[in-house]
Amino acid sequence: MELRENEPLGARTTLGVGGDARYLVEAHSEGDVCQALDWAERRGVPVRVLGGGSNLLIADAGFAGLVIAVRLRGISISSPDGDATLTAAAGEPWDDVVAAAVSRGLAGLEGLSGIPGCAGATPIQNVGAYGQEVAETITSLRAIDRTTRRTVELSAQDCRFAYRDSFFKSEAPERYVVTQVSFGLAQRPPAPVRYPDLAREVAKRGLATPTLRELRDCVLAVRADKSMLLDPADPNCRSCGSFFLNPIVAPSDVERVRAALPGVTVPTYPQADGRVKLAAGFLIEQGGFSKGLRDGNVGLSTKHALAIVAHAGANAEEVRRLAERIQDGVRVRFGVQLSPEPNFWGF
């Protein structure tokens, strides 16, 4: 196990801010993970697990413990034709997983094209976009239970998925290190497009019945137009993507938002349990925080009000302060609490 000390973490995240890890090890196998956990336990050192760093804000003081950077790699598909199970190691870049599924003609992940990060993080967050969530296709996963050092196999039902949530996130945070995820995918055309932005891109290209590859290209184009791809040439690229979750509220909360915005159409998305999902980006803009807003060395993306961008010279405290300023503004204006989507380390 190659242990590094005082390892910079900012460059390992998409925001590009934050201090050092007191210790860091790169894990290329489940054995590496267990060895690192044993090392930390013997010394009483706290542990955090790092994937692609795309959903993470690290404090300027860094993390005074051991960071395990998951680097397990590999993609396999159970059969050369027909429906199949695609299995990805946790350290595989997520878009490579999507590309592998699409190239094989397997549907179910194409709407998640272009999302940064690694495969192992997808079940924790129940990653979703453009009408798809990984909860719809995950069949099982492997993980190391940090309390026992045993490798466990968990079913999709065990994961208890909800909107941008799972058993790993809300019920057992930090207990498991995901090492492998399996997806049950079907060889079929993509489902009908439901999201307006994506539907417009499909129509613009004259695609009456797009193939999986064509729909993936459309998703990538829409994400690029919103500066939601990792592109070093894009001034908006240093972000976590969507910084806040879309809030799910009671109908009475929706009426309060409508009363605060007379004459404005409030986008709403009814949920099966009777509650309503609101668009966080809409609330942010209507709350007075426009696209392109600058606050010191940080600001909002010029393309997407949900993305907080770290510009040159930014630090983590500036990101945190702007996030709290936005939360306060939306709460005062509409009585709705926005919850951050990224994980916070060291604050």
Active-site residue list: 164, 242, 341
294 pairs with which residues across the strands?
Answer: 299
Q: Is 151 left (phi over 0), alpha (psi -120 to 50) or beta?
A: beta
Cα–Cα distance measured from residue 257 to residue 337, given in angstroms and rounded to the nearest whole number:
12
Cα–Cα distance measured from residue 92 to residue 117, given in angstroms and rounded to the nearest whole number:
9
Residue 209 corresponds to which tokens in the numbers above?
Answer: 């019945």
Q: How far is Cα of residue 180 from the mean position of the Cα atoms in its chain? A: 17
Three-state DSSP at 248 gives strand
Residue 233 corresponds to which tokens in the numbers above?
Answer: 């040439």
Residue 287 corresponds to which tokens in the numbers above?
Answer: 């709350």
Q: How many CB atoms lie within 10 A of CB 71?
A: 18
Could you tell me the CA-to-CA distances from 100 to 33, 198, 267 in Å, in that order? 26, 21, 35
Asked whether the beta carbons of 161 and 169 are under 8 A apart, the reply is: no
Sign of CA dihedral 284, 112, 311, 124: positive
Name the residue among 65, 61, 25 with its Cα closest to residue 48. 65
Cα–Cα distance measured from residue 167 to residue 155, given in angstroms and rounded to the nearest whole number:
11
